[in-house]
Amino acid sequence: MDAFFASVELLRYPQLKDLPVVIGGSRFTPQQEAALVQRWGSLAQMPLAAFERLGGYVGRGVITTATYAARQFGVGSAMGLMKAARLCPQAVLLPIDFARYRAYSQRFKEVIVALAPVLEDRGVDEVYIDFTHAEGGQEAGGQALAQRLQAAIFAATGLTCSIGVAPNKLLAKMASEFNKPRGIAIVWPHDLQEKIWPLPCRKINGIGPKAN
């Protein structure tokens, strides 16, 4: 899913679309929601001036995720909020609402299973799907089914996703990052030398500063 937590929050706060938004720090509670609705009528009607800004944050919290507009400033997941505040102080800071994210996670996975029943759950915002025998899974190298999945997920949830199709899970995971957001990338065996081999090692899932 594309910037999953942040995208779910933008459904609740459409006035924040295209703005730098960071999710992290405290948790969002039903009491907070009730208070905000009582004050503004609905969360969608909250004025921009009413949102907390990242520049005023003090603490040891970390970013869970950020919108693509925030990522343009170098802000990213697992970064300390105070460091992010130096990079993008104007970003809106929203609390985490795991119950809401889990609900949307279940919804998008139900959509996938209806079209491609063989699914491996890899967390709240990511799955592996076996296209082998699914309807449309072999058309244009999987392009047809990937497009149907994107359209169905968006229709059911209002959320976008990026899909990588490849001969194995490692390559599919890498391909899913090629054209974000709302992208589809097909990697054929003959594409390895051109599309995969030139990539830095850190692009391989599981390899990074702690394992290299």
Is residue 164 assigned to a domain? yes
Of how many residues is the chain composed?
Answer: 212
pTM for the model stands at: 0.88
Question: Could you say which of 79, 96, 113 is where a domain stops?
Answer: 96
Q: From CA 54, how far away is CA 85, in angstroms rounded? A: 5
Residue partners of 137: CB distance under 8 A and separation at least 6: 116, 131, 145
Domain-terminating residue out of 72, 96, 120: 96
**Residue type present at position 166:** A
Query: What is the C-alpha separation between 133 and 41, in angstroms, rounded?
Result: 49
What CATH number is given to the structural domain containing 62? 3.40.1170.60
Please indicate, yes or no, whether residues 146 and 190 belong to a single structural domain of this protein.
yes
Check whether residue 92 and residue 112 sit in a common domain: no
- pLDDT tens for each residue of the chain, 212 residues long: 999 999 999 999 999 999 999 999 889 988 999 999 999 999 999 999 999 999 988 888 899 999 999 999 999 888 999 999 999 999 999 999 999 999 999 999 999 999 999 999 999 999 999 999 998 888 888 999 999 999 999 999 999 999 999 999 999 999 999 998 999 999 998 888 888 888 888 888 777 776 65
What is the pLDDT at residue 211? Answer: 64
Work out how many domains the chain is built from and give that number: 2
Say if residue 42 is in the same domain as residue 89: yes
Query: What's 186's domain CATH number?
Result: 3.30.70.270
Cα angle for residues 30, 59, 202 (degrees, 5° grid): 95
What are the catalytic residues? 126
Q: How far apart are CA 50 and CA 91, in angstroms?
A: 13
Query: Are 159 and 113 within one domain?
Result: yes
